[in-house]
């Protein structure tokens, strides 16, 4: 990931986390990002976001995964990957399956429901599961997407 993209990711994480941060954490994020130490800022923000349970949009989680791929040999990479995949990614999946309300319509519309595939850990659309069930004449075990 290029330095400009890394800086943009740091600022995007700051915007999401800012309302939930105390003065010291907020100052640390601003100063480290402004000084160009974006790795330290993103590392700090990801840890705080996971600990505080701050939800991230799926696109922002994907940017975090892409950013982390460029640090594959860094000593903190396994820890950060566990944070992203263990805490942030499940929140993003829940956000995708949460009901969405159109303020112009009378009734809320639900996003398509997802099932968790127990073997692969992959989220699968209910329509896919139904087709597979009819094909094999069995009902899959429902697995919560939370870890």
- Please state the domain extents for the chain: 3-97, 112-147
Contact 88, 49 (CB under 8 A): yes
Q: For the chain, what percent of residues have pLDDT higher than 90?
A: 33
- Stated pTM of the model: 0.59
Q: What is the pLDDT of residues 88-127, one digit of tens each?
A: 665 555 545 445 555 555 544 444 444 444 445 555 455 5
Whether the pLDDT of residue 137 is over 50: the answer is no
Question: Tell me, what's the pLDDT at 53?
Answer: 87
Mean pLDDT of the 28-53 span: 94
């Amino acid at each position: 990931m290029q330095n400009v993209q890394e800086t943009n990711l740091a600022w995007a994480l700051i915007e999401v986390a800012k309302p939930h941060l105390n003065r010291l954490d907020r100052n640390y994020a601003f100063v480290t990002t402004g000084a160009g130490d974006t790795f330290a800022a993103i590392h700090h923000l990801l840890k705080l976001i996971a600990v505080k349970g701050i939800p991230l949009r799926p696109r922002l989680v994907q940017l975090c995964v892409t950013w982390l791929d460029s640090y594959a040999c860094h000593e903190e990479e396994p820890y950060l990957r566990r944070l992203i995949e263990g805490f942030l990614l499940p929140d993003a999946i829940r956000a995708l399956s949460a009901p969405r309300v159109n303020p112009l319509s009378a009734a809320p519309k639900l996003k398509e429901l997802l099932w968790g595939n127990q073997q692969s850990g992959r989220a699968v659309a209910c329509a896919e599961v139904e087709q597979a069930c009819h094909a094999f004449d069995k009902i899959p075990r429902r697995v919560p997407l939370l870890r």
